[in-house]
Amino acid sequence: MTTTEHNSADDFATPRRDRLRRAFFRFSQSKLSMLGAAIVAVVIFFTVFGAVLAPYPNHVAGGVDTASRFIPPSAAHPFGTNELGQDVLSLVMAGTTVSVLAGFGVVLIGSVIGTLVGAVAGFARGWVDEVLMRLTDLTLTIPGLILAMAIAAALGSGFGNMVIAIALSWWPGYARLVRGEVLAAREEVYVTAARALGATPKRILFRHILPNVVSPIIVKMSLDMGFAILTVAGLGFIGIGVRPPTPEWGTLLSISRSYMPDYWWTAMAPGMAMFLAVFGFNLLGDGLRDILDPKARR
């Protein structure tokens, strides 16, 4: 957690706030991490306010304007209009909400399931570990996108179903990560101390071990955010996911495909939005890994 220049006694005395400040300083030294943080801040801003700030809110709500179909990019419509005469920029701004919230939902649910499975497996060991990890390996061998597609198709369309479908193919990575961390942590002195004080296994796992393995989980979550957004968009692109008129980047892109190459601008805004959001989260994730998980630094 702390830099190597300090000896352990010094570390021990360092209040948490100081360490956080130092971590933040190191993070801010990396221009790329700051760029990532800035992009992510913009993306989160649009997640919350995108639909409100959209220049044509009635288009977001599903309104059409057939008189102005396929207008090329102009001052009034910076990214043109689509086959229904809707402003592409407005749709993409509003689409941030679904894409980012779904991505966050996937990572959150996936990490909670994976952490529970991995923690129990690593802590209990023996046959519980064996059964849980074989299940994890098995899920890993099923192609994630196909598994997510199959579950999403089985559950039916809709935001929640899509998130659950992807999350159910997302947890094995966390299970493996957390199991490894818990296996290492359970040999630490503080665990022996807690056991000597008579703490129950449940308390040792949830109050002592898990808080100590939380940094790699957070790092993985931030690195996964981008890929989760990509997967959500991929499902939308194939046509499994939220249904129009709810704007979603992948669906917007898939509709615009039918109007290539004449009306190419309809694809640019959703595609670039996806790229930028994922790029931002990946830069941020890399930066967070460098400060929270120095062992993984290359």
Partner 1 sequence: MLHFILRRLLLLIPVIVGLTIIMFAIARLLPGDPVALAAGPNATQAEIAALAVEYGLDQPIWVQYGHYVSGLVHGDLGTSLLTRRPVAADIKAYLPATLELVFAAMFIAVAVGIPLGLVTAVWRNRWPDYLAQVGAIGAISMPRFFLGLLLQLCFAMWLMWLPLGGRLPIVVIPPRFVTGFLTIDSLIAGNWNAFFMSLRHLALPAIAMSLSPLATIMRMMRASTIEVMQQDYVMTARALGLPSRKIITKYVARNAVSATLTVIGLYFGWLLGGTVLVETVFDWPGLGLYATKAIVSQDMMPVIGVALVIGLLFVFANLVIDLLYGVINPKVRYS
Cβ-based nearer residue to partner 1, 17 or 298: 298
Closest CA to 182 of 146, 246, 129: 129
Cβ-based nearer residue to partner 1, 16 or 297: 297
Binding track, positions 126-145, relative to partner 1; x by CB under 8 A:
--------xx--xx-xxxxx
Neighbours of 198 (CB within 10 A): 7
Q: Quote the tokens at residue 202.
A: 């449940």
- In the set 154, 189, 196, 197, which binds partner 1 (CB under 8 A)? 154
Q: Candidates 71-79, 85-93, 213-221, 277-285 — which segment interacts with partner 1 by CB under 8 A?
A: 277-285
For position 150 contacting partner 1 by CB under 8 A, the verdict is yes
- Characterize 21-40 residue by residue with b for buried, 16 or more Cβ atoms within 10 angstroms of its Cβ, and e for exposed: ebbeeebeebeebeebbebb
For position 44 contacting partner 1 by CB under 8 A, the verdict is no
- Give the H/E segment covering residue 192: helix 189-196
- In the set 85, 114, 216, 226, which binds partner 1 (CB under 8 A)? 226
Cβ-based nearer residue to partner 1, 21 or 257: 257
Closest CA to 108 of 217, 269, 1, 15: 217
User: 119 Cβ partners below 8 Å, 6+ apart?
Assistant: 178, 179, 182, 205, 209, 210
Residues in the site for partner 1, rule: CB under 8 A? 32, 134-135, 138-139, 141-147, 149-151, 153-156, 226, 230, 233-234, 237-240, 250, 253, 257, 260-261, 264, 267, 271, 274-275, 278-279, 282-283, 286, 298
